[in-house]
């Protein structure tokens, strides 16, 4: 596959691993006192485990798996609301496959489907729009979730629906943004991160400068990275190089896809359709100011919150999540998944308690799938 | 998050709705090209884009890709020197 | 007499003349079972040899869509049952086939399904000797469900099974993985992907027999259907009490299947196959087994993909192209397309 297989080259990977080892030694990173690099994006977490990079890399470099998995950070109350909408008569509820198994307080979408709700997996919000065109007598709702990478797709879909004047299509908006939770992490006094791998596909939309504050205000290096294994390794090397040279800047390893200033059409569509909520709840992280998006009043006709009378009121939502579930501490890098008392005991992929075990890119599920059943047993 | 993969635009399917056919390893899917269309839709044909949930989100910059590959190649060729460097540094520890 | 209806109605399940017409015209005239009693009465010389054993299997088939590039539900039903017998070392002989048909099903579609079944049965050298039909009301079925059972004979001296796998055995598959699963995903249409792929659906009786003839040391085999290669290997490793290690670099995969997986975020190791098996073979017989398999059309792509090891029982791992390793676990539920 062009533009992918070139970046899976074992020879280059070996050279990068050696170069990383040299740099790691130089900055004094050891197993006992590792350099903590957070890969913000769950896609990066997935690649790290899929290619076994965590086992190949110098022992002084430790990956901390960040909050960049929109399914993982989705509060249970929002899943409950999805089910509530999906169970309304006449509704076709459409979603990406990722969200199907996420547990709510009552049912997951998968369980709601089994109980009779018309819930369909789609690949694209455009497919949900097409369902609405074909089923004029039904209300088609799309579960809009994801970061800035995915937000333009639903914004453009709403704009298209508006152009066509479709009256039976709406989006249940749960879009969230990346920079705000990173700031929240950096403000945490217990934070021990030394640098960041930035989510490349988010930056392909918003560019690299929204991360300037990480380098300028907090003095941490960040390298916006691609998703192939040599992309990740090269980015780790770039972070270590910055540390070794005492620099902290925003660098772009993924320039083949990420323009410095992002994509103007995507950003314009997002700005046209969405506005910021005062705050939004992240599972495990709590309410974070200005981190969630809402459909603007001018597109109210396509807002499922409006159509179904589901508001977002922060105050009512600090419902405790599951006792003993340490998703929050895992997501902020304070503990490894295996240190959670529930990992592999009360919480497994078959019977997940926390969302990090549900989504394939959740740190716990990734640990379990690629490395961790062993870790649980140990 | 955000699974995105490189695909080549092989045809414009619905110019009015900015839809085009993209192909990855012989798999075809219609995608929206609003974000990469610019003024000349037809010039997209043959270009590589990054697709995500049915949208072409970014044009792939061939020069940048080549530059990254070049850097990887150089590094691969320098493997021996790196190994020696590593060995020397370890000996000093 | 020839059936004139175009669609199956409840009358075709009533036990009356309409039902008899359907059975005779669509089913028995094609399958030509021996005799018309409610039970098949069977005899085979291979059964009478000392030490020969019976193998008996049953399976039910549901698939959407009912017809897809490279096959239909009937072809899968015959191949699936033949393969379940073959991977146990049995020579498949007889099948039963029961059909649960939804009211409104096109009779022309039924004819195509039955024709495929007869065709595959002939290729596999098995006879469809008994059967049944039921009709359910519209909405209570999904077009057609097929339930097949199969009987085969395991020749004297053959005894293969997962518990016989030994550390050091090599792991062989008979060709590229995931074609069927990727074909079905595309054929369903709800993901709007188009790809020139055809299902790998095939009977593997002759292939298995050929491999066992030249490599009698083959310890075990499974067909990699639902859950794909990964699930078959996890089951076998657990039963064997051994570890299995795969080499990512040797996994045979069509670019189109890899493409479907990249787009949807799926792992090809878990994609369904309907004409692929995985077998364990002592290393000194691997070349003979491979040569015999490659001489069959269903085994042209046969290749060694890994080995059994005396490691942690039940653990399946894959060496990545970088020399890293990852665990290839059982699938928890259905593999869902993902965006992240």
Of A165-174, A333-342, C197-206, the range with the lowest mean pLDDT is A333-342
Domain boundaries in chain A?
A: 1-371
Tokens 């959407």 correspond to what residue?
A: C64
Q: Please tell me which chains touch A, using 3 or more CB pairs under 8 Å as the contact test.
A: B, C
Q: What is the mean pLDDT of chain B?
A: 91
Q: What's this model's pTM, rounded to 2 decimal places?
A: 0.92
Q: In terms of Cα–Cα distance, which of C125, C132, C123 is closest to C22? A: C132
CB-based contact (8 Å) between C313 and chain A? no
Q: What is the model's pLDDT at position B1?
A: 45
Q: Identify the three-state secondary structure at position A322.
A: coil
Kindly indicate the confidence band of residue C84, based on its pLDDT and cuts at 50, 70 and 90: very high
Strands A222-225 and A169-175: unpaired
Q: What is the model's pLDDT at position A318?
A: 53
Record: contact B25-C194, CB cut-off 8 A: no
In a domain, C198, yes or no: yes
Domain identity same for C170 and C106: no
CB-based contact (8 Å) between C157 and chain A? no
Q: pLDDT, tens digit, for every residue of A239-273?
A: 999 999 999 999 999 999 999 999 999 999 999 99
Percent of chain A with pLDDT over 90: 67
Say yes or no to pLDDT of C34 above 60. Answer: yes
Q: pLDDT, tens digit, for every residue of A276-292?
A: 999 999 887 888 999 99
Residues in chain A with CB shorter than 8 Å from the CB of B35 are 152, 156, 263, 265-266, 269
CATH number of the domain at C307, please.
3.90.650.10
CATH number of the domain at C20, please.
3.30.1330.10
Kindly indicate the confidence band of residue A61, based on its pLDDT and cuts at 50, 70 and 90: very high
Distance from CA of B1 to the nearest CA of A (A): 4
Q: In terms of Cα–Cα distance, which of C291, C151, C296, C163 is closest to C222? A: C163
Calculate mean pLDDT across residues A105-126.
Answer: 94
Domain identity same for C237 and C172: yes
Dist. CA C186–CA C255, nearest whole Å: 15
Calculate mean pLDDT across residues A45-72.
Answer: 89
Q: What is the mean pLDDT of chain C?
A: 95
Record: contact B2-A18, CB cut-off 8 A: no
Q: Judge contact between A214 and A220, C-beta under 8 A.
A: yes
Tokens of A106: 């009552």
Domain identity same for C143 and C184: no
Boundary (domain end) residue, out of C154, C177, C197? C154
Q: Please tell me which chains touch B, using 3 or more CB pairs under 8 Å as the contact test.
A: A, C
CA distances from A252 to A148, A207, A209, A239, B70 (A): 17, 10, 10, 11, 16
Q: How many domains does chain C have?
A: 2
Dist. CA C253–CA C200, nearest whole Å: 12
Q: In terms of Cα–Cα distance, which of A214, A223, A202 is closest to A270? A: A202
Q: Judge contact between C250 and C305, C-beta under 8 A.
A: yes
Domain identity same for C137 and C181: no
> Which phi and psi angles does C69 have, rounded to 5°?
-60, 125
Tokens 């290393």 correspond to what residue?
A: C283
Percent of chain C with pLDDT over 70: 99
Nearest CA in chain B to C263: B5
Beta strands in C22-76 (DSSP E): 53-61, 67-68, 71-72
Calculate mean pLDDT across residues A153-158.
Answer: 98
Nearest CA in chain B to C339: B3
Residues in chain A with CB shorter than 8 Å from the CB of C188 are none
Segments forming the whole domain that contains residue C140: 10-154
In a domain, C332, yes or no: no
B7-66 residues touching A, CB cutoff 8 A: 8, 17, 24-25, 29, 32, 34-37, 48, 50, 52-55, 57-58, 60-62, 64-65
Residues in chain B with CB shorter than 8 Å from the CB of C340 are 1-3
Q: Judge contact between A173 and A303, C-beta under 8 A.
A: yes
Kindly indicate the confidence band of residue C1, based on its pLDDT and cuts at 50, 70 and 90: low
Nearest to B3 among A15, A43, A259 (CB): A43
In a domain, C240, yes or no: yes
Where does residue A28 fall: left (phi above 0), alpha (psi -120 to 50 degrees), or beta otherwise?
left
Q: Judge contact between C146 and C78, C-beta under 8 A.
A: no
Nearest to B52 among A6, A149, A230 (CB): A149
Where does residue A91 fall: left (phi above 0), alpha (psi -120 to 50 degrees), or beta otherwise?
beta
In a domain, C225, yes or no: yes
The fold of the A1-371 domain, in CATH, is Rossmann fold (3.40.50)
Dist. CA C242–CA C306, nearest whole Å: 13
Say yes or no to pLDDT of C199 above 90. Answer: yes
Q: What is the model's pLDDT at position A319?
A: 54
Strands A250-252 and A222-225: parallel
- The dihedral of CA A57, A68, A143, A117: what is its sign? positive
Q: What is the model's pLDDT at position C321?
A: 84
C190-209 residues touching A, CB cutoff 8 A: 190-193
Residues in chain A with CB shorter than 8 Å from the CB of C338 are 96-98, 359-361
Comparing A224 with C265, which gets the higher pLDDT? Answer: A224
The DSSP secondary-structure symbol of C142 reads S
A164-203 residues touching B, CB cutoff 8 A: 199, 201-202
Of A21-30, A278-287, C251-260, the range with the lowest mean pLDDT is A278-287
Record: contact A120-C262, CB cut-off 8 A: no
Domain identity same for C100 and C228: no
Dist. CA A101–CA A89, nearest whole Å: 22
CB-based contact (8 Å) between B79 and chain C? no
Measured at the CA of B32, the angle between CA A206 and CA A205, to 5 degrees, comes to: 5
């Amino acid at each position: 596959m062009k533009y992918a297989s070139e970046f899976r080259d074992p020879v280059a990977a070996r050279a990068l691993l050696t170069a990383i080892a040299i740099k790691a030694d130089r900055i004094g990173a050891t197993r006992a006192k590792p350099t903590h690099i957070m890969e913000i994006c769950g896609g990066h977490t997935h690649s790290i485990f899929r290619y076994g990079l965590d086992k190949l890399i110098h022992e002084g470099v430790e990956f901390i798996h960040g909050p960049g998995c929109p399914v993982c950070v989705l509060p249970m109350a929002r899943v409950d609301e999805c089910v509530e909408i999906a169970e309304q008569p006449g509704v076709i509820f459409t979603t990406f496959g990722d969200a199907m198994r996420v547990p709510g307080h009552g049912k997951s979408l998968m369980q709601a489907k089994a109980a009779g709700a018309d819930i369909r997996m789609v690949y694209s919000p455009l497919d949900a729009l097409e369902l609405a065109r074909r089923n004029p007598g039904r209300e088609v709702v799309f579960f809009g979730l994801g970061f800035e990478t995915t937000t333009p797709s639903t914004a453009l879909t709403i704009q298209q629906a508006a152009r066509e004047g479709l009256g039976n299509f709406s989006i249940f908006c749960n879009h969230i943004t990346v920079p705000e939770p990173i700031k929240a992490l950096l403000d945490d006094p217990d934070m021990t991160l030394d640098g960041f791998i930035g989510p490349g596909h988010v930056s392909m939309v918003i560019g690299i400068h929204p991360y300037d504050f990480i380098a300028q205000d907090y003095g941490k290096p960040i390298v916006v990275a691609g998703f192939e294994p040599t992309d990740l390794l090269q980015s780790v090397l770039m972070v270590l190089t910055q540390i070794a040279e005492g620099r902290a800047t925003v660098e772009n390893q993924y320039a083949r896809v990420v323009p410095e200033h992002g994509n103007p059409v995507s950003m314009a569509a997002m700005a046209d359709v969405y506005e910021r909520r005062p705050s939004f709840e992240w599972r495990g992280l709590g309410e974070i100011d200005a981190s969630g998006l809402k459909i603007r009043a001018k597109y109210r006709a396509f807002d499922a919150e409006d159509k179904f009378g589901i508001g977002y009121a922060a105050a009512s939502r600090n419902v405790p999540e599951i006792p003993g579930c340490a998703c929050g501490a895992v997501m902020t890098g304070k503990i490894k998944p295996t240190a959670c008392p529930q990992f592999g005991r009360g919480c497994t992929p078959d019977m997940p308690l926390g969302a990090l075990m549900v989504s394939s890119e959740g740190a716990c599920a990734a640990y379990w799938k690629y490395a961790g059943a062993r870790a649980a047993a140990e | 998050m955000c699974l995105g993969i490189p695909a080549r635009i092989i045809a414009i399917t619905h110019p009015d709705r900015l839809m085009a056919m993209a192909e990855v390893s012989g798999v075809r899917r219609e995608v929206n090209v609003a974000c990469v269309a610019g003024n000349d839709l037809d010039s997209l044909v043959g270009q590589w884009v990054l697709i995500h949930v049915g949208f072409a989100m970014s044009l792939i910059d061939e020069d940048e890709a080549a530059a990254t590959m070049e850097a990887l190649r150089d590094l691969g060729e320098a493997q021996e020197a790196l190994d020696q460097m590593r060995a020397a540094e370890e000996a000093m520890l | 007499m020839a059936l004139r209806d175009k669609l199956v109605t409840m009358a075709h399940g009533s036990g009356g003349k309409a039902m008899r017409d359907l059975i005779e015209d669509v089913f028995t005239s094609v399958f030509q079972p021996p005799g018309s009693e409610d039970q098949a009465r069977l005899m085979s010389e291979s059964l009478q040899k000392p030490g020969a054993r019976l193998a008996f299997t049953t399976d039910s088939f549901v698939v959407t869509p009912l017809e897809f590039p490279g096959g239909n539900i009937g072809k899968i039903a015959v191949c699936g049952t033949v393969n379940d017998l073959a991977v146990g070392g049995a020579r498949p002989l007889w099948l039963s086939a029961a059909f649960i048909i939804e009211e409104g099903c096109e009779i022309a579609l039924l004819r195509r399904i039955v024709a495929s079944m007869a065709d595959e049965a002939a290729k596999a050298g098995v006879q469809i000797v008994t059967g049944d039909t039921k009709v359910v009301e519209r909405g209570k079925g999904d077009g057609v469900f097929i339930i097949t059972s199969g009987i085969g004979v395991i020749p004297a001296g053959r005894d293969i099974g997962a518990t016989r796998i030994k550390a050091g055995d090599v792991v062989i598959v008979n060709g590229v993985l995931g074609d069927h699963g990727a074909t079905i995903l595309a054929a369903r249409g709800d993901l709007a992907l188009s790809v020139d792929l055809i299902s790998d659906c095939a009977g593997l009786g002759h292939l298995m027999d050929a491999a066992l003839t030249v490599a009698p040391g083959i310890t075990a085999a499974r067909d990699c259907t639902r859950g794909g290669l990964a699930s078959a290997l996890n089951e076998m490793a657990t039963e064997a009490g051994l570890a299995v290690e795969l080499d990512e670099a040797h996994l045979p995969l069509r670019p189109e299947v890899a493409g479907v997986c990249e787009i949807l975020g799926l792992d090809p190791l878990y994609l369904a196959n309907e004409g692929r098996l995985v077998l364990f073979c002592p290393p000194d017989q691997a070349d003979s087994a491979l040569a015999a398999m490659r001489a069959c059309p269903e085994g042209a792509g046969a290749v060694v993909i890994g080995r059994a090891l005396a490691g942690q029982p039940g653990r399946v791992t894959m060496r990545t192209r970088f020399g890293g390793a990852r665990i290839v676990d059982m699938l928890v539920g259905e593999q869902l397309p993902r965006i992240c």
